[in-house]
Amino acid sequence: MENSTEAFLAYLADQRGFTANTMAAYRNDLNQFVTFLSANEHDPDWASVKATDINAFIGIMREQAYATSTVARKVAAVKSFFHFLSTQGRIKSDPTRNLESPRVNKYLPKAMSVTEVHELLDQPAKQQTLENVRDQAMLELLYATGLRVSELVALNLEDVELKGEGRGVVRCVGKNGRARLIPLTSRGSYDALAAYVTVGRPHLAAVAKEQQPALFLNHRGQRLTRQGFWLILKSYASAAGIANITPHTLRHSFAAHKLKGGANLRDVQQLLGHASISTTQVYIHLNKDNVS
């Protein structure tokens, strides 16, 4: 079984261009399914898996009160895996062929109000440390560009061009390797990033034994991780009295505020790196009270 899952994951990486985070999620989902099969004394052979086994797996997750979205994601991983096995000739028939995916309730993304955003962005400046200079740049950059947090921490120093007079551009690589250039149209983001690049980052980089290409560094001079940023964001959100915030909230707020301000939907789609404009359209329907 393990050889087949590894072959599938290699296929996703090489042929489908899946990100490391998506690959990790698929691996976790398939490992959970294998654990379920083993616990039920199932033969270690994918060809012997039946639709009833998969339905039983879904039933167990529902009994354990998994979120519908989580169940749907795990089912999607299993279906994709068996489709791969079938097309590769590793199994004669696909047990998920007639399996319906769980219906997922669609929720509107949550955006902060403009006032809340300003409260959050004001927090790092309350302390004058190298980390605060970095944090100011990260928060300002996220809100000014709509970057995903994974894209933010993946930025290298060479991906940022500060042209002077408040103008700059950021190059990032998003999902499926799609690259895009995002202008720094906010003076606040330009100034915060310039201060970090010229003052904050050199001091943080000096701690590391080897030179690091990463734009945003932790206190050890290494690339800041998503988890590290999440802890930073939670701290500032708590200080600002903002609840229920996630690393994606600034991205949602960027899109909602841009559209509310009259930005063209197609332009916002390109800035966000959405493959489909329908994904961007959801921001039009956000409750106006959330973005005022």
Q: Tell whether the torsion through CA atoms of 219, 225, 228 and 233 is positive or negative.
A: positive
Per-residue pLDDT, 289 = 46
Length of the chain: 292
Is 248 tagged catalytic?
Answer: yes
Residue 73 tokens read as: 């994601």
Q: Rounded distance, CA 57 to CA 64, Å? A: 11
pTM of the complete model: 0.66
Query: Which residue out of 27, 175, 226, 234 is catalytically annotated?
Result: 175
Query: Which residue out of 251, 252, 257, 258 is catalytically annotated?
Result: 251
Q: Which residues contact 136 (CB under 8 A, 6 or more apart)?
A: 121, 124, 125, 192, 195, 196
Q: Which residues contact 258 (CB under 8 A, 6 or more apart)?
A: 146, 268, 271
**pLDDT tens by residue, 231-270:** 999 999 999 999 888 888 999 999 999 999 999 999 999 9
Domains and CATH numbers, the chain: 2-87 (1.10.150.130), 114-290 (1.10.443.10)
Query: Which residue out of 203, 248, 266, 285 is catalytically annotated?
Result: 248
Q: Rounded distance, CA 116 to CA 241, Å? A: 9
Is 251 tagged catalytic?
Answer: yes
Is 148 tagged catalytic?
Answer: yes
Q: How much is the average pLDDT of 67-75?
A: 85
Strand positions, DSSP E, 67-205: 160-164, 167-173, 179-183
The answer to which of 75-79, 167-171, 197-201, 274-278 has the lowest mean pLDDT is 274-278
Question: What does each C-alpha distance from 269 to 94, 279, 282 come to in angstroms?
Answer: 37, 8, 11
Q: Rounded distance, CA 267 to CA 24, Å? A: 31
